[in-house]
Amino acid sequence: MRFLEFFRNNRKTTATVAKERLQIIVARERTTRNGPDYLPLMKEELLLVVRKYIQVEEGAVTIQLDKEGDCEVLELNITLPDAPTAS
């Protein structure tokens, strides 16, 4: 019996895949939802500033607002391109 169950559980069903994908996307969307309204705009403007100096892609700037105890942490992440374009 246990032997059979082992094989059953090992086979990842599409429903399991769906659940995992949803958990990730929903969690991500909830953090931006509860964040202040200015975050998306600030992200856009920051991207413009960065792009004035470095050619980065649309998704290269990520902003995350986390809470650590009483402290709110604004994490800004800019992914730079592999080979910097000479200017």
Partner 1 sequence: MAEVIVITSGKGGVGKTTTSAAIGTGLAMRGYKTVVIDFDVGLRNLDLIMGCERRVVYDFVNVIRNEANLTQSLIRDKRVDNLFILPASQTRDKDTLDIEGVERVINQLSETFDYIVCDSPAGIERGAFMAMYFADQAVVVTNPEVSSVRDSDRILGLLASKTKRAEEEREPVKEHLLLTRYEPSRVEKGEMLSVEDVKEILAIPLLGVIPESREVLQASNAGSPIILASESDAGQAYEDAVSRLLGEDLVHRFVEVEKKGFFNRFRLFRS
Choose, by CB under 8 A, the member of 3, 6, 15, 85 that binds partner 1.
Answer: 15
Residue 64: CB minimum distance to partner 1, A = 17
Q: What is the DSSP string of the chain?
A: -HHHHHHHHHS--HHHHHHHHHHHHHHHHHHHHHS-THHHHHHHHHHHHHHHHS---GGGEEEEEEEETTEEEEEEEEPPPSSPPP-
Choose, by CB under 8 A, the member of 2, 4, 6, 69 that binds partner 1.
Answer: 4
Residue 65: CB minimum distance to partner 1, A = 16
Q: Which of residues 17-46 bind partner 1 (CB under 8 A)?
A: 18-19, 21-23, 25-26, 29-30, 33
Residue 39: CB minimum distance to partner 1, A = 14
**Total residues at interface with partner 1 (CB under 8 A):** 17
> Terminus-to-terminus CA distance in the chain, angstroms?
67
